[in-house]
Structures are given as C-alpha cells and as structure tokens.
Amino acid sequence: MNKKSVIINSLLSLSLGGVLFFLVFRSIDFSDFYLRLNELNFYWIYLSMFISIFEHVIRAYRWNLMMEVGGNNKFSTFVTTNVIIISYFFALLIPRFNDVVRCYLISKTNQINFSKSLGSVVSERIIDLISLLILIFLFLAIEFTNFMLFIKTYIIDYTSLGSRSIFITISSIALVIIFSRYIITKSKFLKDKFNEFKEGFMSVKFLYDDKRFLLSTVLLWGTYFLMGYLIFFSFDQTSGLGVYAGLAVLVAGSIGMVVPVNAGIGAYHFLVASILLSYNLDYESGLFFATVLHTSQIVCLLVVGTLSSIYIFFKIRAKE
C-alpha cells in the first residue's frame, strides 16, 4: 500500500466516520450526556479496561500458535502482544492498515517472513468471522424475535442486493482470482511470496484439533463479552440488563466494527444502541452506554498503545 493510497483510505474513512457520527448523535443533548457522567460507577469501567488488555494477550498467544506451525521458531507472547496492541493503535488513524503494521513489526522482531505472517493473519480473520457467525446463530436461537427485528431493520433493509449486483460482484471476484493466479505463475518472486503466504494461511488447518487454539478462541470471545457486560453495572439504566443483553451487545458491536471507519465510530454506537431498544432501554441511554464502552476502550488503547510503541521501537533498534 503506497503513501497515496493510505492517505486516500484514511480521508475516506474519516469522512464516512464523521457522517455516521453526525447522523447518530445529531438529536442527542450532550449536556445530558455530561450530567450522566456524574452517575457512573467508574470501578466497572476500569475493570472492563483492565480486562481488555487480556484480549490482546490471548490474541497474541493464538497468533503465535499459528505462526509456529511448520517451523522451529518460538515466539514470545509478550513481544507479540505489544505488536498487536500497536497494530490496533494504528487502526485508530488508518483503518484496515493494522494487519499490515503487525505483520511488518512481527517480521522485524522475529525470524518470520512478512508473507507468511500475513497469511496467518488472513486465516485468523476467517476464524474470527466463523466465530462471529456461530455467535450470531447462538443469539438467533436464544433471542430469535429480537435478533430478526434487528437484522431486518438495520442490516437487510440497507444492504439488499439485486440479482444483477450479485452476479456482477461474483464475476468480478472470479476475474480477479483468475488474473492473480496467471500473474503469480509468471513471476518467480510473486510465486515465492504466494507460497509463503499460503503456508501461513494453511497453518490453521493443523490447529483445529489443538485444544490450546480452541480454548484461546473461546477465551478471546469471552473476554470481548466481559468488556461490554461489565459496563452494564456502571450506571443504573443498564445495571438490570442480563447475560442475553450482553450477548446482544457483543454481536451488534462486532458487526459495527466491520464497517470501514476509524474504530467503528458511529456504526458501533448506532448498532449497539439500536439492539438495546429490544431490552426496554431508550435509544439515548443505549447510545450513552455504547459511548462509555467505546470511549473507555479507546482511552485504554491510547495508553497501552503508546507504551507498546516505545517498547517495540527500542527492541527493533537493539536488534538492528
């Protein structure tokens, strides 16, 4: 990704995020938000922020398992954790660029090719998508009415594609794949890089039966759940919401973070606030909850991201 592409991507994401933020918060009285801050029990917020650090540790441990497949190198969970934290730190400014950053940094701090690490990241993203789909089906089974109302109102109605659009999309993807395979076979350099990428991508198939991989995946999503659920207890309007509402926040928030804007701003807030309407919470209170949860995680990431950046900077300098 060249400098021009990065700038364009960042500006587009910021613009989209700004538009979404305006649409979501345009009717909100921020003075009321400010008054609500005095009612917060910050103990639960700090606990949620502390637990969020373990999300990075678990993800680093699982990524190490994938990168260690087929090689003799062992990766430090501490180093990989700092690399992942920095990648999310960068994503606050440049969305979808964080995976490139973490693959670059892991190749600088360990003996692994960039292409192989990138392949493992793509494979990891597919696992995350499968995990999210499992959560969606679980939520569908438990809260069918609430979920279908949410999907119909906020997902299907705004993302419906006609048969012509679907045909064009599938045909375009097929042409890109065919063209890419042709180019790769004609270039030894690209072929070597593709094989490295494939090695990292296929690493996951050797881990399906690894209890450590499955356990770390479950713990990862359990941590995501706790980060949101604990915030329920920080103020009165949400303190009575139960586990099902926590699962709803996890599903809606995860979908919101897929939107290509900086840290899911706007989309995350809207989807979380909207799904909480099904749990007898008014939109403004739901939006306040989403804002507290989202902002607390951003503040935590800014702090640990700065510390991790300093650590990795000196580690790379020492290695050079």
Other CB atoms within 10 Å distance of the CB of residue 5: 10
More confident position, 165 or 318: 318
Nearest-5° angle of CA 132, CA 137, CA 140? 125
More confident position, 153 or 54: 54
More confident position, 107 or 32: 107
Q: Is residue 169 very low, low, confident or very high in pLDDT (cuts 50, 70, 90)?
A: very low
Summarised one tens digit per residue, pLDDT across range 80-132 is: 999 999 999 888 877 767 888 888 899 888 888 887 788 788 888 888 888 88
Which whole number is the average pLDDT over 164-192? Answer: 48
Q: Is residue 289 very low, low, confident or very high in pLDDT (cuts 50, 70, 90)?
A: very high
Domains of the chain, by residue range, sit at 41-142+157-246+301-319
Q: Is the pLDDT of residue 190 over 50?
A: no
Task: Identify the CA nearest to 148 among candidates 135, 161, 136, 158.
Answer: 136
Measured CA to CA, the distance from residue 46 to residue 44 in angstroms comes to 6
Which whole number is the average pLDDT over 1-7? Answer: 59
CB contact set of 132 (below 8 Å; sequence gap of 6+): 251, 254, 255
Q: Is the pLDDT of residue 182 over 70?
A: no
Measured CA to CA, the distance from residue 149 to residue 7 in angstroms comes to 38
How confident is the prediction for the chain on average, in pLDDT? Answer: 78
Q: What is the DSSP secondary structure assignment for residue 69, as one 8-state letter? A: T
pTM above 0.75, yes or no: yes
In 99-128, which positions are buried (b, 16+ CB within 10 angstroms) versus exposed (e)?
Answer: bbbbbebbbebbebbbbbbbbbbebbeebe
Q: Is the pLDDT of residue 200 over 50?
A: no
Which whole number is the average pLDDT over 246-256? Answer: 88
pLDDT at residue 47, as a whole number: 95
Which whole number is the average pLDDT over 234-251? Answer: 89
